[in-house]
Amino acid sequence: MFKNTQSSYGLVAIALHWLMAVMVLGLFGLGLYMVELTYYDSWYRGSMDLHKSVGITLAALLIFRFAWRALGTQPKPVAGSDKLINAIAHSAHLVIYVLLLGIVISGYLISTADGRSIEVFTLFNIPAIELSVENQADIAGKVHYWAACSLIGLVILHALGALKHHFIDKDKTLIRMIKPLKDD
């Protein structure tokens, strides 16, 4: 039930998928909103602190997700699905993971460029690493923005693919990412 099987995702992978999907979409919206604020807006600091804290939580979940994926089984594509489409979907998943990693690393590098640590929900601090890179915040900021836009573009295609599986191919690809299925 908790672990993946050859034919279905388990509860842990399903919970991680949807929790992180909500966080990614929320962080993207919050990110676009907060860069429009000025220093004098009441939400200026609060929105950045929230973005950073949720971003660090996402990074922790990402590391856990990599470990969970590496240690467990990956469900095989549903029977009868096209081999080329499966290969494209598999590559898209890998690119999504690489972009997520790039986004959290560049986010960390923006926030810590001035040597300040990151306060996570006022509970603890993640220290800065001194890299002495000139324009660190600018470079990391560009990477962060473009990787986030690419991720959202890819996620839209990914979601359309999942909906095609469900409504056109009428197979179990989407259902098995919503609830664990019994082995056929």
Does 35 participate in binding ligand HEM (rule CB under 6 A)?
no
Distance CA 30, CA 92 (A): 24
Does 120 participate in binding ligand HEM (rule CB under 6 A)?
no
Closer to ligand HEM by CB, 73 or 136: give it: 73
Which letter does DSSP use for residue 135 in this model? Answer: T
Take residue 158 and report the two structure tokens written for it.
């990914």
Amino acid (1-letter code) at residue 112 = T
Does 181 participate in binding ligand HEM (rule CB under 6 A)?
no
Contact with ligand HEM (CB under 6 A): which of 30, 158, 169, 171?
Answer: 158
In angstroms, what is the minimal distance from the CB of 173 to ligand HEM? 5
Take residue 106 and report the two structure tokens written for it.
């560049």
Residues 50/30, Cβ–Cβ less than 8 Å: yes
Stretch of 56-64, 112-120, 123-131, 157-165 contacting ligand HEM, by CB under 6 A? 157-165
Contact with ligand HEM (CB under 6 A): which of 21, 60, 63, 157?
Answer: 21
Distance CA 18, CA 15 (A): 5
Contact with ligand HEM (CB under 6 A): which of 24, 61, 109, 118?
Answer: 24
Distance CA 152, CA 100 (A): 10
Q: E-strand spans in the chain?
A: 118-120, 124-126
- Residue 72 sits at φ, ψ, to 5 deg, of -105, -165
Closer to ligand HEM by CB, 126 or 166: give it: 166
In the complex, the residues that contact ligand HEM under the rule CB under 6 A are 17, 20-21, 24-25, 69, 74-75, 89, 93, 96-97, 155, 158-159, 162-163, 173-174, 177
